[in-house]
Amino acid sequence: MINFKSPEKLAKVIEATNLKNDAKKEDIDKLVSDAIEYGFHSVVVSPYYVSHVKKQLKSSDVKVGTVVGFPLGYNEVSIKEFEAENSIANGADEIDMVVNILAIKVEDFNTVKEEIQRVVEVSEDVLVKVIIETGLLTKQEIEKVSLIAQECGVDFIKTSTGFNNVPGAKATDINLIKKVVPTMKIKASGGINNYKTAFRLLSSGADRIGTSSATAIVDEFNKSRKNYEEHLDKEGII
């Protein structure tokens, strides 16, 4: 089980996200300032905001993440390759690529493998996460695409986009991925809006959490920790 001793340690496994298509610059600026204040691992924004965020974070250790093929994933391979190259040129430290769900459904796994390989190749030292949209896949499809992702050398398997009106991260999916590719890192995302959910997914084996409720999750953790410590103090335990 995960047992975070401090809000700082919890924040380091959180990727604070705003991928809304109506996000204004002031919304992104608030995301960045919160990330610096709380010490989140990264902020994840649309490619449009990557260069803007990179400038704001130049004196911080907070990473800049962005997306490729988002949110549906059915772009041509060459388009995803270009998107990755362009975002990296603009300052992205991490790439979250949506896999081609259509190709998975028709068992065109050659296309799935090719697109992942090409994005990994152009990304070089930039970390790559492959979003497999678990809510749209069968158990067998999750197993197959997880093995392909591992073979292609991606850094993380990410559960969901949170944008396709399907269930997001589930502990059962994380357990399945861990069973099939036990050495792969996992980013849980989609529907994670409170500490209880985040804790459950991290305890199931997720290595990171992607959420648009990052500050609320850490604040909730702090509140529960404070209440627990007050209880121990009242009982004379501390």
Active-site residue 155, yes or no? no
Find all residues with CB under 8 Å of 27, minimum gap 6, and list them. 18, 20
Any alpha helices (H) in the chain, and if so which ranges? 7-11, 25-38, 50-56, 77-89, 101-105, 109-123, 139-152, 171-180, 195-203, 214-234
96 is catalytic: yes
- The catalytic position among 80, 129, 158, 170 is 158
User: Annotated catalytic, 158?
Assistant: yes
CA distance 41 to 209: 10
For helices 109-123 and 139-152, the axis angle rounded to 10 degrees is 40
Question: Residue 33 has which token pair?
Answer: 């300032």
State in Å, rounded, how far the first CA of the chain is from the last one: 23
CA–CA separation, 190 and 8 (whole Å): 22
Q: Which residue out of 96, 129, 144, 155 is catalytically annotated?
A: 96
User: Which residue from 59, 4, 10, 9 is spatially nearest to 36, judged by alpha carbons?
Assistant: 59
User: What is the sign, positive or negative, of the torsion defined by CA atoms of 201, 203, 206, 207?
Assistant: positive
Catalytic residue positions, numbered: 96, 158, 187
